[in-house]
Every structure is written in C-alpha cells, then in structure tokens.
Amino acid sequence: MQLKRDLNLADATLLVVGNVVGAGIFTTSGFLAKELSHPLFFIGIWVLGGLVTLLGALTYAELAGMYPQAGGDYQFLKAGYGLWAGFLLGWVNFWIIIPGSIAALSLALVSYLKPFLILNDQLLEQGLALGIIIFFSWINYRGIHWGKTSQDFFTLGSLVILIAFIAGGLIWGKGSWDHFRITFSQPLPFSKIFGSAMIAIIFTYSGWFASAYLGSEIKNPGRNLPLSLLLGTAIIGILYTLINVTYLYALPLTGLAGIVNVGQETATALFNFMISTVISVAIILAICSSINATIMAGSRIFYAMSEDKIFWSFLKRLHHRFRTPHLAILSQTVLAALLVCLGTFDHLLSYVVFIMIIISVATGAAHLILRWNKPGLSRPYRTWGYPIVPVLFIIVYLWIGWQIFIEKPSTSLVGLLLAISGLPFYFFWIKSNKSIGGGKT
C-alpha cells in the first residue's frame, strides 16, 4: 500500500500559501514600522523578502522535481549528505518544530476566538487548544482528500477576505497617499534592513516549501511540485506587499509603529470597528490553514524516516482504509497536546530558530552538491539562473543565521546541541538494522 496521489496543482499551491499566511502578516508590520521609519524601506523590505523567498523556491523546486517523495527537505539532505543529515532534520522536527508549531498555532487560534467565546480561564483555553489539535488531526487521519479539502477551504476563505480588504481599503477606505510621501530629512535605515527587520520578514515568509513534504501525494509531481512552490511564493510575495501598502495607506508609519494587531487597527481606520471583526475572521481562517498544513506536512517527514528504517517502524504504517500515515499523525498529536499542557513550546521553539535557518542553508548547498556529484539524474525542472540563484539564497540565509547567532548565541548553541543529540539514536537504528540485515547508510 502506498500514499495516494490526490493533490493537483491548485491543492499544492494552496498548501504553500496556507502554510505561510498565518498570524504573522497581521502583527509583524507594527514592529517593522518602528524599525524602519521610512515608507520606501517599509514597503521595500516586503518586496525584498518576497524575492529572497522566490530564490529559495527556485532552488528547492529543482530538488522537489528530482525527489517527488514524502519528506521534503528530509529527502534533499539525505541525497546531498547522507542518511544522517536527513535523520537530524527529522529528529528536531519530531520532538520540537512540528509539535511546538502545532501547539503555538492552536493557542494563537484560541486567543483570536476568545472575543467570540466565553473563555476566562486558562484551563478552558488549554482545553479548547487541545480540541483544535485533535480536530485537525482527525481530519488528516481520515484521508488526504479530507485534508486537502479543508486546506483549500481555509486558505481560499482567508484569501478572499484579504483581497477584499486590499481592494476595498485602497478604493473606498478613509486612508491617505500622503503617508507614502518621502522627505529628505528622514534617515535611511540601511543597517536595519539586513538586521532584525529582515529576520522578522524571513520568518513571516517561512513555510513556503510545504508542498515538497507531500511529494508522494501530488499528481504529476515532476511538473506540479516545482510549479506549486513557484506559484505559491509569487502569490505570497504579491499579497504581503499589497497588504502592507494598504496598512500604510490606512495609517502613517508613526501610527503603525509598535501596534500588535495591525490588521484590526488599520481596518478600523479605513472603515469602522465592525470591519475589523472581519479581519479577525481572516486571521482565524489563516491560522486554521497553517495548523492543517503543519499536520499534513510534518507527519510525512516521520513516515519517510520510518520507510528508511531509521525511526520507529510503526510510523510508516498506512491506514488500511484512508491510506494516511495515521500513526505518525497520532504521534505528533500526542506531543503537541503534551506541549500545550506543559506550556513549554515557546522556549523549545526559540532554541531551534537558528537550526531552521541552517537547514535551509544546507538544503541550498545540497542543490549545488547534487548538480556536481549527480549531473545525470533526471531533473524535470532545472533552477533558473543557476548557480547564481542558489548561491544568493545561501548567502542571504547565512547572513540571517549569523545575525540570529550574534543576537542569541547561547540559545543558538542549545539548538545545535538538541539537533546533534539525535546522532546516538541514529547510530542505534543503523546498528539495529544491520544486525537484522536491513537499513541504509
């Protein structure tokens, strides 16, 4: 029995968009307005972030076309460096990144649902978060068709509201184009563009390679998988830029600076308080989409590891009826629920921020290594602008990683140790497989 190829190009593209467009686009702009007190830089950094993300998509697209299998960058690192590299990625994802992200997103969703519900107790909030995790896990347990239908619904719902907000705000909103006026007395914050501001941008754009994790379930993957990455990142870049144009049209940078709920505040300024409630609905739908995408993508990493016999064998089992890696889904459900109850996911996620950047750098480098070591492999898509595009991507992400390390060296080192802690377990699985005549090295 194999995973079912049931995702078309539209499904895969919406998976990318839905995984990226979460609460970040509605909150990050207030921080950026405070950091970049210049209209040109405030809008320009979103364009720049979109271009950097597109560099990544162009780089990953070739790898995704070469290895259209479950696991995404697990497969790419395995091909470029060996099984051990893929294992370390999966190790950190299994224990921290995936369950921590699910837990954080679920509690974020609860915070946006609170105005619509009667929640005045932490236990009730935790209970609702657990219910959300179980609900979305159940959807994906039931089959890839259920998962993709939910993904399409939540992502399209959020996009429709955001497009209406942009169009309505710029055409009929009570904003001003004077907010874009540039005065020569304004300082040009060049140093901040590639500092904390760019770090915030990169993580607001993060998750753009989600469709690669479901390579075994995408129809015509040689075409649709690379194309979904390119189309998805292009849509996100345009959407993010236009949303921030709308924000700046609604309020000047001085009015945006430091605001947390930028979406609601600008909607109130452009229209009225009632419209800000509609933006809250868009945020809720966007977070739902991110939770669903994370559950879909994460379980495929652990399934792929188990297939390679370097993780618990039960994680590769497919449901006899739904053909989903149901035990992999259940395992991350349990871990995410545990983190919600313990309330420790914020600290754990902070430790692996640096690792997430290193993974992207290593994947970009794997692209170059495979071009050199395995030039004869079939490549349905070849990266446009090679080798400049992947090299630029690697350089930018190395710079971001360095900035994160300089800002939080001890936290970054802890993250590295957490990743390396998986090596003894990797060698244990390899040794166990060799003793029974199996496994791959």
Q: Are 213 and 305 in contact (CB under 8 A)?
A: no
pLDDT of residue 441: 43
Q: State which amino acid sits at residue 365.
A: A
Half-sphere exposure of 201 (CA within 13 A, CB side): 31
pLDDT of residue 119: 74
Read off the DSSP letter of residue 179.
Answer: G
pLDDT of residue 188: 61
pLDDT of residue 23: 82
Beta bridge partners of 70: 214
Q: Are 210 and 15 in contact (CB under 8 A)?
A: yes
Mean pLDDT in each 10-residue stretch from start to end of the chain (441 residues)? 94 97 89 88 94 97 96 97 97 95 94 84 91 98 97 97 96 94 67 81 94 97 96 97 97 92 93 88 96 97 96 96 96 96 80 94 97 94 96 96 93 94 95 67 43
Q: Give first-to-last CA distance, the chain, whole Å.
A: 25
Residue 183 dihedral angles phi and psi, to the nearest 5°: -110, 145
The residue whose two tokens read 């497009």 is 163
pTM over 0.85: yes
CA–CA dist 389, 383 (Å, integer): 8
Q: Are 328 and 94 in contact (CB under 8 A)?
A: no
Q: State which amino acid sits at residue 328.
A: A
The residue whose two tokens read 């194309």 is 227
CA–CA dist 34, 253 (Å, integer): 8
pLDDT of residue 96: 94
On the 0-12 / 13-18 / 19+ scale of CB atoms within 10 A, 120 is exposed
C-alpha pair distances (Å), 220 with each of 9, 98, 197, 216, 301? 9, 27, 38, 10, 20
3-class SS at 325?
Answer: coil
Q: Which of 136, 141, 126, 105 is nearest to 290 (CA)?
A: 105
Contacts of 135 (CB under 8 A, 6+ apart): none
Contacts of 34 (CB under 8 A, 6+ apart): 257, 258
Q: According to DSSP H, which parts of 308-352 are helical? A: 326-342, 345-351
CA–CA dist 318, 53 (Å, integer): 33
Q: Helix 273-307 to helix 9-20 angle, to the nearest 10 degrees? A: 110
C-alpha pair distances (Å), 88 with each of 76, 95, 109? 13, 11, 30
Domains within the chain, CATH numbers bracketed: 9-432 (1.20.1740.10)
Q: State which amino acid sits at residue 302.
A: F
Q: Are 52 and 396 in contact (CB under 8 A)?
A: yes
Q: Which of 89, 90, 112, 98 is nearest to 22 (CA)?
A: 112
CA–CA dist 158, 135 (Å, integer): 19
Q: According to DSSP H, which parts of 205-344 are helical? A: 221-250, 253-256, 262-270, 273-307, 326-342
Per the document, the length of the chain is 441
On the 0-12 / 13-18 / 19+ scale of CB atoms within 10 A, 189 is middle
Two tokens at 279? 């933006």
Two tokens at 157? 């719902």
Q: Are 280 and 112 in contact (CB under 8 A)?
A: yes
Contacts of 397 (CB under 8 A, 6+ apart): 56, 202, 357, 360, 361, 364
pLDDT of residue 186: 58
Residue 390: other Cβ atoms inside 10 A: 25
pLDDT of residue 440: 47
